[in-house]
Amino acid sequence: MRTIKWVALAALWCVGMQRAGAQDVPYKQGILVDEFIYETAPFPSCHSATIAETNDGLVAAWFGGTKERNPDVGIWVSRKPTGGDQWTVPVEVANGVQADGSPRLPSWNPVLYQVPDGELQLYYKIGPKPSDWEGFVRTSDDGGVTWSEQKALPEGFYGPVKNKPVLLENGDLIAPSSTEGDGWKVHFEVTPDFGKTWKKIGPINKKEDYDAIQPAILNHGNGTLQLLARSRHRAVLDAWSDDYGKTWSPLEKTSLPNNNSGLDAVTLQDGRHLLVYNHVLPPGDKIKGPRTPLHLSVSEDGKKWYAALILEDSPISQYSYPSIIQTSDGMVHVVYTWRRERIKHVKIDPSQLKLVEIKDETWPTASSKSE
C-alpha cells in the first residue's frame, strides 16, 4: 500500500511540474485549459466556431459536413455545463434542408449571442456561396439544449456575419457584418430590441476602397467604437466611430499583418482590448498567406499592440477563424478551427499574460524583454 501511495504522489508531482513548466514556455503564460471540444464526430470537416456564455455554462457552435460549400454542411452545437469538465456530444441544430423539396444548401458561419437575462440566439447563413446566402436565426431558452424553429432575417439582412454582436451603452445591439458579391464591403446591422426590428448602417466602404469583410467590434466607451477587419491588403484594417456606430471613418491599414483570414476581438472588463488572429504577412506581394501560427495580442488603445500568446504554431495545416469572449468570472475563452478536423477551446487568465511590444509588424522573438 505504501508503494502504491508513493507512486500516486509521484505521478501527481509530475503532472504539477508539467503544468508549471507550460506556464514558463514563451507565449503560453496565462493558458489554463487547452482542449478539443470533441474527439470524433459524424462529419469529417468543420470550420468557423463561435462561443457564448449562458446561465448554464458555455455553448459553442460551428459548421460541419463533408467539406465547406457541400450541401450536407450544417450547424452543430456542443455545451460545457457550469462545473463540468467535458463538452457534450455535438448535435446538429440547423441545416439547409429546403421545405419545398428543392436541393439542400450548405450552412455557414454561425454566431452565438446571449441576450442579457434572455434567450440565447444563434445566427447563421444558408446558401450556395457567401455572395448568395440568406440570414437566419434560432433561439434557445434553456442554454442551447433545445432550439426554436428557424426564422428568416429581413430581406437583405444577414446578422453578424462571423463575429459576435456588441451591446452598446445606448441600448443598441450592433452586429458587425459584410458582403462579398460586388466587392468586399463592411456594414452593420443594428437592433434596439434584440432582433425584433433591424436597421442597416453602411456599407462604410466603396468598391474602389480597401476590401474588407468579417469585422469585429471593440468598444472604447462613450460611443467610441473601433472595427478590425480581414482584408486583401496584407494588413488588418480598422475604422473608428464616435457616435455609437452611426458614422465611420475611412478604412485604413493598421500595423498588424493579415493573411486574408478571419479574426476576432473583445474589449475586456478592465478596458484592455484583445485580438486573436494569424499574425502572418503573406509572402512576397501575395494577398493570402498561411493560416498558422494563431496569435493573441493586447492593446490599451486599439493602436499600439503587444504580443501575448501563440495558441498554435505548427506548420501543419491551419488554425483559423477564431471567436473570443470574456466570461462573467473574468476569464477569456477562445474557440477556433483546428486543421479543419476539430474545434479547439482555450481558456485564458488575462491577468497572467506577459506582454511584448510588437514593432515593425514583426512578432517579437521569445528572447524579447517582457513588460
- 122-156: per-residue pLDDT in tens? 999 999 999 999 999 999 999 999 999 999 999 99
Q: How far is CA 237 from CA 39, 233, 284, 294, in A?
A: 35, 8, 19, 18
pLDDT at residue number 366: 72
- What is the predicted pLDDT for the residue at 349? 98
Q: What angle do CA 201, 202, 203 make, to 5 degrees?
A: 150
Quick: pLDDT tens for 182-230. 899 999 999 999 999 999 999 999 989 999 999 999 999 999 999 999 9
Distance CA(5)–CA(22), nearest Å, equals 26
Pairing of strands 120-126, 107-114: antiparallel
DSSP one-letter code for 238: E
The pLDDT value recorded for residue 294 is 98
Strands (DSSP E) found in 156-211: 166-167, 173-179, 185-191, 199-201
Please tell me the predicted confidence (pLDDT) of residue 4. 40
Torsion of CA 252, 247, 158, 162, to 10 degrees: 40
* pLDDT value for 79: 98
DSSP 102-139: PPPB-EEEEEEEE-TTS-EEEEEEESSSGGG-EEEEEE
Q: Which residues contact 188 (CB under 8 A, 6 or more apart)?
A: 174, 175, 176, 177, 200, 201, 202, 204, 245
The architecture that CATH gives domain 31-357 is 6 Propeller (2.120)
Give Dmax (Cα) for the chain: 76
Q: Which long-range contacts (CB under 8 A, 24 or more apart) does 231-236 make?
A: 231/184, 231/258, 231/260, 232/184, 232/260, 232/287, 232/288, 233/258, 233/287, 234/258, 234/281, 234/282, 234/287, 236/263, 236/275, 236/277
Could you give the CA distance from residue 193 to residue 262 in angstroms, rounded to a whole number?
Answer: 28
Q: How far is CA 113 from CA 58, 267, 325, in A?
A: 11, 16, 11
Which residue matches cell numbers 473608428?
240
**Mind listing the pLDDT tens digit of every residue in the chain (371 residues)?**
444 444 343 444 443 434 444 556 889 999 999 999 999 999 999 999 999 999 999 999 999 999 999 999 999 999 999 999 999 999 999 999 999 999 999 999 999 999 999 999 999 999 999 999 999 999 999 999 999 999 999 999 999 999 999 999 999 999 999 999 889 999 999 999 999 999 999 999 998 999 999 999 999 999 999 999 999 999 999 999 999 999 999 999 999 999 999 999 999 999 999 999 999 999 999 999 999 999 999 999 999 999 999 999 999 999 999 999 999 999 999 999 999 999 999 999 999 999 999 999 999 997 665 44
Radius of gyration, CA atoms only, the chain: 21
In the block, cell 446566402 appears at: 133
Strands 319-326 and 332-338: antiparallel
Contact 123, 135 (CB under 8 A): yes
C-alpha cell at 347: 481558456
Closest CA to 349 of 67, 18, 22, 33: 33
Where would I find the H helices in 157-265? none
Helix, strand, or coil here: 237?
strand
Question: Residue 10: helix, strand or coil by DSSP?
Answer: helix
